[in-house]
Structure 1
């Protein structure tokens, strides 16, 4: 596809919009507890409402064609309730900023570790240097948060890292299996809605009936539609228009933007040491960017 100034502008715009989308998602997820909703309700909104939009598209495009049952099962599990409940659970213990730091920030670390352990891929010098910077800054950020917010923060950070591990596997598999956007939506949304929603309705604690209308609508719109569906389309557009390297470089701003929004909207503090570590982490993410276009664009939320 020939690049034009207009197409480049829309690509950069899409990338920066998704930075704000993901960063604000951190804040929305952090305040969900105050709405009376449980993390199980948030997962139900994520799968159920997205499935309403995705079902007609999947019936039209039939994305299950060309996928084996094993592929569908693995991808659905990786993007399933265990993954998203770990993420939502992390916000019960840790600040919103840590969601961006430990989910987005740890992706290169887990990607390198999985590549070495499973595929025997050795990281290049850039990736190794970036990974060391990310890991060192993450350790400092955990320590700094414990001084400010209390010792329980590490529990949330650990849950975020489990979510990042799940997503790292998804990124690797989606690239190796050359999965299309509709195949990802089908497995991540439709299949999980069919499996999870009955379990949630019958067995899991819920505050949905008593939740105030305003907070409920915010969570419904944001968890159900914005990052899941709109995010995937925006990343796909940005990757096509400006390339994966430029898109990934812009998305490295998510941890920093999440920290800024957490401070402005939620009043979450971060000390001078934490600010310095966040800068090092962002630089490490930029260094770790792989200079090639992936086969399918990922979406980390």
Structure 2
């Protein structure tokens, strides 16, 4: 049994055919959460026949002094166990749980709110104090990346791309890196699409497109929430209309994993680790801007 790796629990489910679904408990090893999750998802498909399995809860077990492994688990391979019980359920397209985007996942502990409150949609805000406008958007795993890339087109031309490496990754200082979009030979959309795994799907990374020296910003934060900020009311209205054209509805309340839920951040298994990412940013032409200490308010920050 691996000993140097982290040990994680995941609640994983998905359809097994056109009529039925299956959900079960997985226990998996990996060098970090993303790798353990990939090991568990692969086993869910190969061993249990779950089609496109998704994880909705996680817990890190190797840091719990009182954790006892349940009896009756099935060992699929060196890295993954499952059980002791599988639960079958009829598929019902009218009741779809929110599938969190890659990079963040709900913890097993109960938070302040019910998970069922998390829905796709957007919230529009206006600050009369400084006459600024803000739109916050929640999208599930299936729609988030395409929505963010499409949103970049709504605010073009973009002047600068900022990458914020969050301090709760390896418990270090937060870092801001930036590059003028004119220096990206393939353009900002192609650059982000080519590096989706290490940037957009990394739960320790915040990406911000900046227009007009900072008066307009479009951010995909580390909680995988899209945030649009501007001082231009006309642009704000046009942006909101474009978001609605993508199929999102405006709401007066927006619930996400960012607030009120115990949660974990992680990076995908094929993504760059922090030292490799810094080298990549330098080689691409990014400039290091600044670093700072964060006040950690994450309930369970993932550390590798």
**Which bin holds the TM-score, normalised by the shorter protein?**
under 0.3
The structure that is strand-richer by fraction is 2
Provide the TM-score with structure 1 as the length reference.
0.25
TM-score (norm 2): 0.24
User: Higher relative CO (CA 8 A, sep ≥ 6), structure 1 or 2?
Assistant: 1
Say which one has the larger Rg. Answer: 2
